[in-house]
A and B are shown apart, each in its own frame.
Chain A
Amino acid sequence: MSLITQSRPAGPIVIDIENITKDYVMGEEVVRALRGVSMRIHSNEYIAIMGPSGSGKSTLMNMLGCLDTPTSGRYEFNGRNVSAMNDDELAAIRNREIGFVFQTFNLLPRADSLRNVELPLIYAGIDLETRQERAAQVLHEVGLGDRLHHKPSELSGGQRQRVAIARALVNDPSIILADEPTGNLDSKTGEEIMALFEDLYHRGHTIILVTHEADIARHARRTVHLRDGLIESDDGAGVSQFESIAMS
């Protein structure tokens, strides 16, 4: 597997985390969800983060998605220090740099596909005409050009997830962060969605896949296994290690 990673020219570093920890206080107890995780993700990587429940996988995803800030450690996103950002700065990063794809799709039930995809552009302050143009274009790209004015309830599960992927793509983010994107789909539809991710990867997107299914993780070019809040294995870590040696 590492051969594949190394055979591709590594792009610039998008995500650089070093020794990240996250503690949650649950009543009297302190849960150490992450105990010191370091990794680098380059542009146009396709990486799967795996691990059983309780491994810190979700917590790491929340960190990478800038939904939460670490208790300690350093997180740089495109060279900017995320760990020191306030809520609104994090919101701006999520809006422009990260495209979220959720297991439960998380579409607005009363809005049609076009309006759902437009949403991140509204928060980015794009005017109506450009918004609709870009939303329609991305929906075409995911194969829903004829479903612009359908509400989520009028779409199949696979189509809903395509709308969600279009929404993740519309602001042209640096990374796409997908949390169990096939978890609510049957295996055939799931494969279709994975084919779409493959396509996006070939078009130059950076994809981070969080899953506990080995079948799904197989699509990625690099796999990171978490256990008990630590990285158990990272078959692409070699790249960054070589790099850090080269840099030092």
Chain B
Amino acid sequence: MKRFLYELSESWRIAAAQMRSNKTRSTLTALGVIIGIVAVTLMGTAIAGIQIGFDKSMAVFGDDVLYVEQWPWKRVDDWWNYRDRRKIKTDYAEQINRIIGATPNSNLLVAVPTSSLLRSVKYADSEVSNILIRGTVSDYLITSTFDFKEGRFFNELESRDGANVCVIGYDVADALFPSESPLGKSVLISGQPFQVIGVISRQGTFLGLFSLDSIVVMPLKAFQKYFSAKSDSDVLIKVKDKTKLAEARDELTGLMRRVRGLPPEKKDDFSINEQQALKSTLDPIKNSIAMAGLFVTGLSLFVGAIGIMNITFVSVKERTKEIGTRKALGARRRTILLQFLIESTALCLLGGFIGLVFAYLMCFGIGKAFPSFPINFSLNLVMVSMIVSVLTGLVSGFAPAWSASRLDPVAALRYE
């Protein structure tokens, strides 16, 4: 064991001396690894960034909320079977709440109706279009994950009376009230004035597809008064205990069948959606994109590894006589193997370290230039890159190191 440690430290010294005395060669060889590590690291940060964005988007749905809707959150091949389903009605929420209230030990907490459509929103001379107008009740707050930048959500009284009040998303506030607080101002939607009582803080985009901040939320009663036609309605149900999601789901299915008056022989004519199910449909897509990206960038690291292997072979050839001398002095096969493995590993570690520094600077630059670009440079990534560098060194150095360790001492000593 002790001898192994001495041999190890001796090997590190040789590796360092070798790199010092062949600066150009070492730099050029390490460059291959540098480029490889930069590519893999940048791809890693991008993938981690996408993952974080994905999780953030998913979090909007809440992991303890069930969505009763006409369509499921996945691709369906028999869309015609879904198209003709009966619409989901907002008053289901009230019926469900009544049943929940009468059921002891129910897994469900509360049902909240929502109705949505797209409209333009005006204030003074400004107008923003394609805003999601959503009517709901004050309990909506329980099923949601957002915070308020300023103001508040509408209360139970306003909800019941259908008051002309609304809560606006960050983008809406930003577009219509660039230099003043929207609180207390009235915005026009389809010619109807609504007083702004709250602004939701920035939610970002959903998978980068559409903004979650282009939204106006108002009491359902008011919504139905002005926009009842052509709106889509859903019912959101908050679950008491998210570890019992499956039980809650079963209970809700039974409830919905009762509310819809479905006889036992008929299939469900509604979908119960949840975050987890959506995740599991999107995960394979996301993972295969990540795998493909890593594979392509991994190729550049592979090229770098071939460079290391090549230079280690050259190094073994050049130092055949030295290997012979070392063997004559008592170096065992393992010692020689270790020496060249450490040389190739040291080169890869050096390349990996420089590559990481470059990657970090590039991430920093990209982050500064495009703040919305999803990038995440983590300590984990640093560790993984270093481990990948070491593995690259070991794998690419193995063949030359093995051939060096197998050299016949007599032939090696005679080599000129």
Contacts and interface: CB of A to CB of B under 8 A. Distances in A.
Interface of A: 62, 65, 67-68, 87-88, 91-92, 94-96, 100, 102, 106, 108, 110-111, 119-120, 122-128, 167, 171
18 contacts: A62-B410, A65-B328, A67-B327, A68-B408, A87-B333, A88-B333, A88-B334, A95-B330, A102-B413, A110-B21, A119-B326, A120-B329, A122-B7, A123-B3, A123-B326, A123-B329, A124-B330, A167-B329
A125 B1 CA distance: 9
B10 A125 contact: no
Given A67-B409, A68-B410, A123 B331 contact: yes
B269 interface: no
A123 B333 CA distance: 11
A94 B410 contact: no
A76 to B, nearest CB: 20
Given A108-B322, A110-B21, A123 B410 contact: no
Contact of B330 (A91, A110, A127, A128): A91
B70 interface: no
A91 B410 contact: no
Residue of B3, B6, B328, B413 with highest tally of chain A CB at under 10 A: B328
A119 B2 CA distance: 15
B335 interface: yes
Contacts of B332: 87-88, 91-92, 123
B28 interface: no
Contact of B410 (A67, A92, A110, A125): A67
Interface residues of B, number: 25
B17 A110 contact: yes
Nearest to A93: B330
Interface in B268-288: none
Contacts of A124: 3, 330
A202 to B, nearest CB: 25
B376 to A, nearest CB: 44
B2 A106 contact: no
Contacts of B324: 106
A50 B181 CA distance: 105
Contacts of A91: 327, 330-333
A111 B10 CA distance: 11
B263 to A, nearest CB: 83
Given A67-B409, A94-B328, A96-B330, A127 B2 contact: yes
Contacts of B333: 87-88, 91
Contacts of B409: 67-68
A100 B326 CA distance: 11
